Amino acid sequence: MMKHDDPGATTVLHRNGSAVAEPSTVEDVFDDTYREKEGPKPPRRVVWRNVILMSMLHAGAVYALFLLPSASAATLAWSFICFMISALGVTAGAHRLWSHRSYKASLPLRMFLATANSMAFQNDIYEWARDHRVHHKYSETDADPHNAVRGFFFSHIGWLLVRKHPDVIEKGRKLELGDLRADKVVMFQRKYYKMSVVLMCFVVPTMVPWLLWEESLWLAYFIPGLLRYTIVLNATWLVNSAAHMWGNRPYDGNINPRENRFVTFSAIGEGFHNYHHTFPYDYATSEFGCKLNFTTCFIDFMCFLGLAEERKKVPREMVMARAQRTGDGSHRSG
Ligand code: ST9
Ligand code: ZN
Ligand code: ZN
């Protein structure tokens, strides 16, 4: 696999319109010096508690599908709003802000994103960002938490049902995570994570329809609560599974991650995964700005409001040169 381009060439868009080249300090760039240990792999140790909980969650979500025709339009609209809030907590929050530091966010925005992130219930931001940096640095190896070489099921959900490969933990412990520890919002969310999840992922989505338009508690729990949570989880996991398997590789044909339109749509802009692994520090995770990319629109809007700044963007010439040099020939500039 190829080593990624020097992140020092990133352009930072300042609010006054100026663009300045600044180096990235985050350990999210592929390390081609790592070698998997030789000999037999450690045995797979299934965590049955997770298997049971995930099976129950998915069974509950399938049941919730049958309840959909009985739900009011307001409940369906609220479920969509909860989907978007949780999704932004992952995409604009845990992913683009905290894992990659691809832009800067003010305190009120970070508080919103951390709250939204608890609604998504995907491990706390610190753990999510740590695992995600290991994923980028050791992609498709034993040290990648959801190593896609182990197949669709493992990279989608299986990795949450077994103990981690020791290399994930060994390499993860060596990562520089001082920026996350220094962020009071991240550490606050970590400290009160369980409580915040109960409140944001289940209580708030259930209580709002019940209190405001007298939806039944049963429907309100199963649709904006359980079903919405399960859809957000699967949309996120598709980035690890489908977008590491199916699609074009316009920027780097030597790596597994791909451009996958279906994933881009369901994960509000996170399916441009060949681009993203090639240029992990780009705040848009894509060459094409807001196109099919609601998360980028959201970050741009936050900048417009003065709540975010310093978006990192890869210069166009560098993208073109990289596509020519290592792409699979499918690059289109529109
Ligand atoms: C979930 C996460 O779903 C989803 C993440 C997806 C990422 C996607 C990325 C794609 C790009 C972005 C796209 C976004 C699109 C969004 C679209 C939205 C519409 N480094 O973990 P343990 C240490 S979660 C360093 O127990 P086991 C750890 O600190 C779903 N250290 O490992 C601990 O140390 P100590 C809900 C590490 O025992 C020790 O190791 N949550 C690292 O192997 C043991 O840690 C669940 O289902 C590291 N990387 O268990 C819970 N990792 O003891 C699932 C670990 O000192 N998790 N350590 O504190 C678990 O139950 C367990 O983690 C396990 C592994 C069973 C999976
Ligand atoms: Zn990936
Ligand atoms: Zn990433």
pLDDT cut 90: percent of the chain above it: 87
Identify the pLDDT of residue 23: 55
State whether the beta carbon of 236 lies less than 6 angstroms from ligand 1. Answer: yes
Choosing from 95, 131, 160, 234 the residue with most ligand 1 atoms within 8 A of its CB, the one to mutate for a pocket test is: 160
State whether the beta carbon of 168 lies less than 6 angstroms from ligand 1. Answer: yes
Identify the pLDDT of residue 128: 98
State whether the beta carbon of 300 lies less than 6 angstroms from ligand 1. Answer: no
pLDDT exceeds 80 at position 273: yes
State whether the beta carbon of 155 lies less than 6 angstroms from ligand 1. Answer: no
Average pLDDT across the chain, whole number: 94
Identify the pLDDT of residue 24: 67
State whether the beta carbon of 117 lies less than 6 angstroms from ligand 1. Answer: no
CA of residue 191 to ligand 1 center, whole Å: 16
pLDDT, tens digit (0-9, with 9 covering 90-100), for 169-179: 999 999 999 99
Q: What is the mean pLDDT of residues 198-202?
A: 98
CA of residue 58 to ligand 1 center, whole Å: 19
State whether the beta carbon of 134 lies less than 6 angstroms from ligand 1. Answer: yes
Identify the pLDDT of residue 4: 45
Q: Mean pLDDT lowest for which of 33-47, 94-108, 263-277?
A: 33-47
CA of residue 203 to ligand 1 center, whole Å: 24
Identify the pLDDT of residue 2: 39
Q: Give CA–CA dist 50/48, Å, rounded.
A: 5
CA of residue 147 to ligand 3 center, whole Å: 14
State whether the beta carbon of 50 lies less than 6 angstroms from ligand 1. Answer: yes
pLDDT, tens digit (0-9, with 9 covering 90-100), for 293-307: 999 999 999 999 999
pLDDT exceeds 80 at position 331: yes
